[in-house]
Homo-oligomer: A and B are copies of this chain.
C-alpha cells in the first residue's frame, strides 16, 4: 500500500483539511441549492472539459508513468495507472452517465399522517462534505467527483502519490468545467500533495467531514477504519462465491463461471471460490475446469473435487479464506443450497455471491438466506459494479452493513430529513 511521502507536517495538513472542509461544506450547500438541472449541466460541462483537456491529462499521466517506471513498478499496477485518450474519453462518458441519472435529492422517501393531524415526510438530502482517499487508478477521482456532485455533496480527494500529476490535471479540467457552468470549484478539491499527513488529517476531521470513503487495498481501508474519527463507508474484501447447483444448465454454468473468474481476476467482484453441488459434480465440474484452464486459470481444490479432476492442486488451509485477485480459483464440493450457504458463511466476506440453477425454488432459497450485499441468480459476480447496476459510476463498493451496501452511487450518498407539517399541535 502506498501511503505517499511523509514530509508535510501534521499541523500544516490538519490546518489545510479544516479549511478545505469548511469550504467544502459551504460549496455542498450551494451545489444542493442549485437544483437538479444545474447539477446535471455542471456535470456535462465537466465531462466536456475533460474531453477538451485530454492532451494535458495524458501528458500529466506520462509524468506519473515515467516516475512509476523509474521506481520499477509491476505491469498490473502500470496498466491501472495508465491513461490514454480513449480512457479519458471513457472517463468523460462516465461523468455524462452520472449527469443523466434521475436526481436523488428532495424525493419523498416516505410520507404519512398521524392521528393528531401532523403530516410527516422523510425527504432525501445531501450528506455534505465527503473525504475520498484512494490509490492509483486516476479515473476514480472523476467518478467520485461526479457522484458526489450529483447527490449535492462536495468532495475532498486525496489520491495516491503514483497518480499525483494525473489527478491534478483531471481535477483542473473537471473544476474548470464546473466553474464555467456556475457551480463552485470548491465542490471538488484535491489535497495539495499526496503526502500521507493529509490522510491522517482527513481521518481526524470529526465534525468537519461528514463521511470518509476509502477505496484501495486492504492496508489502506484497514488504516482508515482503525483511525477515522468520521464515519467510514468502507470497501473491504470481495471474497465472492459462485455456486453451481445440481439443476444448472451446463452451458450457462461454463460461460458464467469463466466470466466471473477470468474477465478481470483483479476486481473485487471476481469469483474467488467455485462451489459445486455434490449431486451433479461429476457432470458439471470437469467441463468448467477445462474452460478455465484454457484461459490460464490455476486451482486450489478440495479432496472431492480432486477425485473428479485428478490434476488439480490441493487446497491448503486458508485458501478458502484468501481473496486471490488473480487467476487462481478455489473449488469445493458442497451439499445443495444449505451446504453452499454454510461454506459462504464460514469463508465469505458478504460482498457478492451467485447461484447458477434452472430451479427457481433453489434460487429463492439461496437468495433469501444469503447475508451478502449482492445475491445473483444466473449471472456473473463481475456485474457487481455501479455502472452495471445503472448508477453511472460508483464511488466504491460498501461491504459494511450501515447506511449503504454494494455499489455506492449518488442515491447512497444522501441522507434524509423529516418535514413535519401541523396546524398548531402541542404535545400532551
Contact = CB atoms under 8 A, between A and B. Distances in A.
Interface of A: 29, 33, 112, 114, 118, 120, 125, 127-128, 206, 210-211, 225-226, 229, 231, 249, 252, 255-256, 258-260, 263, 363, 367, 369-380, 382-383, 385, 388-390, 400-403, 405-406, 415-427
Nearest to A363: B421
A55 to B, nearest CB: 29
Contacts of A418: 373-375, 389, 405-406
Contacts of A372: 417
A422 B379 CA distance: 5
A256 B426 contact: yes
| Copies of this protein, total | 2
Given A114-B388, A118-B379, A424-B379, A400 B231 contact: yes
A31 to B, nearest CB: 14
Contacts of A258: 426
A415 B405 CA distance: 8
B374 A255 contact: no
Given A256-B426, A424-B255, A426-B255, A417 B375 contact: yes
A357 to B, nearest CB: 11
A425 B260 CA distance: 10
B417 A374 contact: yes
Contacts of A128: 401
Instruction: Name which of A33, A258, A390 has the most chain B CB atoms within 10 A of its CB.
Output: A390
Contacts of A33: 369
B252 A383 contact: no
A89 to B, nearest CB: 17
Instruction: Name which of A258, A375, A385 has the most chain B CB atoms within 10 A of its CB.
Output: A375
A402 B402 contact: yes
Contacts of A377: 419-422
A382 B380 CA distance: 51
Nearest to A128: B401
Given A114-B389, A259-B427, 7 more contacts: A112-B390, A231-B231, A231-B400, A231-B401, A249-B424, A380-B426, A383-B420
A369 B425 CA distance: 23
**6 closest A-B pairs by CB:** A379-B422, A259-B426, A252-B424, A403-B403, A376-B420, A382-B427
A335 B168 CA distance: 43
A301 to B, nearest CB: 23
Given A418-B374, A420-B383, A402 B127 contact: yes
Contacts of A420: 374-377, 379, 383
B417 A118 contact: no
A378 B421 CA distance: 7
A375 B420 CA distance: 6
A403 B402 contact: yes
Nearest to A382: B427
Nearest to A127: B401
Contact of A415 (B256, B385, B402, B426): B402
Nearest to A115: B390
Nearest to A378: B422
Contacts of A401: 127-128, 210-211, 231, 415
A422 B390 contact: no
A222 to B, nearest CB: 10
14 contacts: A210-B402, A256-B426, A259-B426, A259-B427, A363-B421, A367-B419, A374-B417, A376-B421, A376-B422, A377-B421, A378-B424, A379-B422, A380-B427, A402-B415
A374 B127 CA distance: 15
Contacts of A231: 231, 400-402
Instruction: Name which of A211, A259, A403, A424 has the most chain B CB atoms within 10 A of its CB.
Output: A424
A304 B149 CA distance: 41
A124 to B, nearest CB: 11
Nearest to A370: B417
Nearest to A388: B427
